[in-house]
Structure 1
Amino acid sequence: MDLESAVMEIIINSGQARSFAYEALAKAKEGDFDGAETLMSESAEAAKGAHKVQTQLIEQDQGTGKTPMTLVMVHAQDHLMTSMLAQEMVTELITLHRRLAQQG
């Protein structure tokens, strides 16, 4: 996989992961916890795709600096990290919404 394709793959999959997570949060706000869990599973799958490409790039580089670090590569890494953070936070928020629904 060429570098440009790899970077785009990370950005696309990370964006999907983040979008699914926020859709899951919307479902949880509505009380649809099964829907939220389904969307979080889809988020995890998209994140796996991004992480797989990232791992391939790391393996190709072998810590030697073979892979050029470009602004778009940094941008892709930002997307991946923010989507991972979104997943963690949304998981916690879904738990809170579930708890509130059980109390009410």
Structure 2
Amino acid sequence: MLLEEKVMEGLELICFQIISNVGGARSCFINAIQEAKEGRFDEAEKMMDEGDQLFLEGHHAHAKLIQQEAGGEKIDFALLLLHAEDQLMSAEGFKILAAEFIDVYKRLK
């Protein structure tokens, strides 16, 4: 296997780690909103905590790529990486909105 193919294989693996973790996190944040909507705030907080853990794992995978590039290893542009970063930002947005929705639902109850 060529070095370039090994690097791409590693990049693809990291991208899939990011996508799967932050996708799970986003689902947890959405579920947290639904739990809060039904007045189940303890469950909402558990979903937020689970989402936070998954998000952190995805964020760490992304940070690994940044550290590699900062260390002089060239990371080539890949559509998969762009998608992974898009999913990371999307999950972060859902986290912020979920926290706000939970707060609103608590005030309404």
Flag whether TM exceeds 0.5 (same fold): yes
Match of 2:6 in 1: none
Regions of 4+ moved over 2 Å: none
Aligned match for 1:38, one of 43, 46, 58: 46
In 2: Cα distance, 1:87 partner to 1:7 partner? 20
Residue 2 (str. 1) matches residue 21 (str. 2): no
Q: Could you tell me the percent identity over the aligned residues?
A: 36
- Given the two structures, how large is their TM-score scaled by the length of structure 1? 0.93
In 2: Cα distance, 1:28 partner to 1:6 partner? 33
In 2: Cα distance, 1:54 partner to 1:19 partner? 19
Aligned match for 2:102, one of 86, 94, 99: 94
- Given the two structures, how large is their TM-score scaled by the length of structure 2? 0.89
Q: 1:58-80 CA deviation, whole Å, 9 max, x = no partner?
A: 00011757001111100000000
User: Structure 1: which 5+ runs fail to align?
Assistant: none
Map 1:1-104; keep pairs closer than 5 Å.
2-62=10-70, 66-101=74-109
Q: Give the total of aligned pairs.
A: 101
In 2: Cα distance, 1:59 partner to 1:25 partner? 34
- 1:94 is displaced (CA, Å) by 0.4
**What is the one-letter code of the residue matched to 2:47?**
L
- 1:85 is displaced (CA, Å) by 0.3
